[in-house]
Structure 1
Amino acid sequence: MISEAQFQKELQLIISNAIREDVGDGDHSSLACIPASAQGKAKLLVKDDGIIAGVAFAKMIFNYVDPSLQIEVFIEDGTPVKYGDVVFHVSGSSQAILKAERLVLNSMQRMSAIATKTKKYVQLLEGTNTKILDTRKTTPGFRACEKWSVKIGGGENHRFALYDMVMLKDNHNDFAGGITLAIAKTKAYLKEKNLDLKIIVEARNLEEVKEIIASEGVYRILLDNLDYETTKKAVALIGDKCLTESSGNINENTIRNYAECGVNYISSGALTHSVYNMDLSLKAI
């Protein structure tokens, strides 16, 4: 995974680019009718039920827009919330609050939705030894926040991007001339480049599982779109040779069944690509 320093850099890039996109050469609505000296206060109001996420990110946004803004937090990230809850107050320059408002709301609404869905999946896995993983199926330019939201909801992060882990999927294996060749070429490449990256390899059937096992040095086998019985057989074949991960057709109705097959991880793109934003608003007080 990426380092904390890299992660923080990604967050700052998200903020700077979003402000550039939203504000441009100025928030002329505020500049036109609100004096630069005007001071105000607003509250972050919850209008939905779920898990709140993005509080710490909102503080980063406000600080970027105007470091003199004061934020008083009442509900921290990862806390269950209900309609009518007030998450924080922000006070200071009225122009600055309005300048940051839309980015704060857009971010927190989506982050809270992801955290809420992740928490539901985590609860469905309770009593098993299986952990839920996110994927790279994220909103372009907003990945760091979405993966942060998965962690807030109690899930685990998969690789952050293409550069921090090797994942040989079906197309890689087919283009490389087969699984065994793909793994061998990958090991040689990592050695040549002096890279210490974990290798995950996708298997579409039990024969491919056996082929992957025959090549040492694989960190995890991705059991893709296998039914329950085949998944159980694959887990038994793999044993403690490497970790296991199920993916494909994972939803609220199937996740528990796959966990009970004995896999270490279940990955689901739905955590980040199929959510409905939590209803939040920033109201002057």
Structure 2
Amino acid sequence: MLTRQIIDRVVRNALDEDAPWGDVTSELFIPAEATASARLIAREPGVFSGGEVLQRVMHAVDERIRVSSLLGDGKPFEAGQTIAQVEGPARGILRGERVALNLVQRMSGIATLTAQYVALTTGTRARIVDTRKTTPGLRALERHAVVCGGGRNHRHSLSDAVMAKDNHLAVLTARGLSVTEAIRHVRSRLGHTTHVEVEVDRMDQIEPVLAGGVDTIMLDNFTVEQLRDGVALVAGRAIVEASGNVNLDTVAGIAATGVDVISVGALTHSVRSLDIGLDVEIAPALPEELGAENLGPEDLGADR
């Protein structure tokens, strides 16, 4: 879940990285009293994510900055559309600009890509879910973006559920246990609320894994035909997850096999940040701020 505390921690770290001793350029070029208005504008169509992140970045650099006309997370937008309006002290807006854009562009890219996957599975039972292949430190933001695009979240961390892959089972079976016995051994040590998922990469592993009492079985790198056969063999005895070889060209066929879940690492590990810009207009400084006390109106321009 994306909380304000998580957002603020990410924002603090990002701002400290980007301006550890302040924004030297803005402090030299922009008068302290100057104000600005800016529009967050989409350069291409997509699905928005990161509204609260944008607000918290601007609030962190200067509490006087206001964000308005903000498009809701999960809402689609077109190229050229204004997503938000930002107003306040110019130095603050310029200092927060890059951090805000970096985060919002990435989150909106994830939401947009997720929406494409979800659209391709419409009419099937399959849910599109993310994986742990996220950017270190940004997992909560990226997973929120997946939800904005209509997807679902897998386990958040290694602490949330049991998910045994081939290496885990290899260690246990090396001690003389069968796969079924290994899973039962693990289940005997768990509370009743802990979800258990096990990965298989061959058809002949399905029955022994089901006999161990799993909640979800992951069919890893199965062909479409094998997935269809695997779903039939499981026959509702566990949730069926498909993983591996999932992309925009293959996802519709995978969803049509009847699987319940399709996990897609590409949602977060291979996504392209969306092209979103912040167009800033800085209000002209007063003449004395520029050392031009004696300039007349004709020197300052008619629309000063």
Q: Give yes or no for TM over 0.5.
A: yes
* Whole-Å separation in 1 of the counterparts to 2:182 and 2:23: 52
1:112 is the counterpart of 2:115: no
More off after superposition, 251-260 vs 72-81: 72-81
- Alignment partner, residue 58 of structure 1: 54
Measure how far apart 1:10 and its partner are. 2.8
Please say if 1:187 is aligned against 2:187.
yes
State how far apart, in whole Å, the 1-side matches of 2:105 and 2:37 are: 20
After the TM superposition, which residues 91-240 of structure 1 pair with which residues of structure 2 at under 5 Å, given as runs?
91-177=87-173, 179-191=179-191, 196-216=193-213, 218-240=214-236
Q: Taking structure 1 as reference, are residues 103 and 189 closer, same or farther at Cα in structure 2, changes over 3 Å only?
A: farther
Alpha-carbon separation, structure 2, partners of 1:190 and 1:94 = 55
**Greater C-alpha radius of gyration:** 2
User: Matched residue of 2:37: which SS?
Assistant: strand
Counterpart AA for 2:86? V
RMSD: 1.7
Asked if 1 retains the 8 angstrom alpha-carbon contact of 2:129 and 2:263, the reply is: yes
Match of 2:190, SS state, is helix
Q: Under a length normalisation based on structure 2, what TM-score does the superposition of the two structures give?
A: 0.86
Provide Cα deviations, 1:129-148, integer angstroms capped at 9, x if missing partner: 11100101111111111111
Task: Number of aligned residue pairs: give it.
Answer: 277
| Native 8 Å contact 1:172 1:182 kept in 2 | no
Matched with 1:258 is 254
Q: Shift of the alpha carbon at 1:171? A: 1.2
8 Å Cα contact 1:168/1:182 also seen in 2: no
Aligned partner of residue 209 in structure 1, secondary structure? helix
Question: 1:7, CA displacement in angstroms?
Answer: 4.5
Distance 2:22 2:179 in 1: 54
Q: What displacement does 1:12 show? A: 2.4
Gaps of 5+ in 1: none
Could you say which residue in structure 2 is the equivalent of 1:68?
A: 64
1:118 offset after TM fit, Å?
0.5
Seq. identity, %: 38
- Unaligned 5+ residue runs, structure 2? 282-304
Name the SS of the counterpart of 2:49 in structure 1: coil
Q: Which moved more, 1:164-173 or 1:34-43?
A: 34-43
TM-score of the aligned structures, taking structure 1 as reference length: 0.92
Q: Secondary structure at the match of 1:19?
A: helix
Moved more, 134-143 or 72-81: 72-81
1:10 aligns with 6
| Letter matched to residue 132 of structure 1 | I
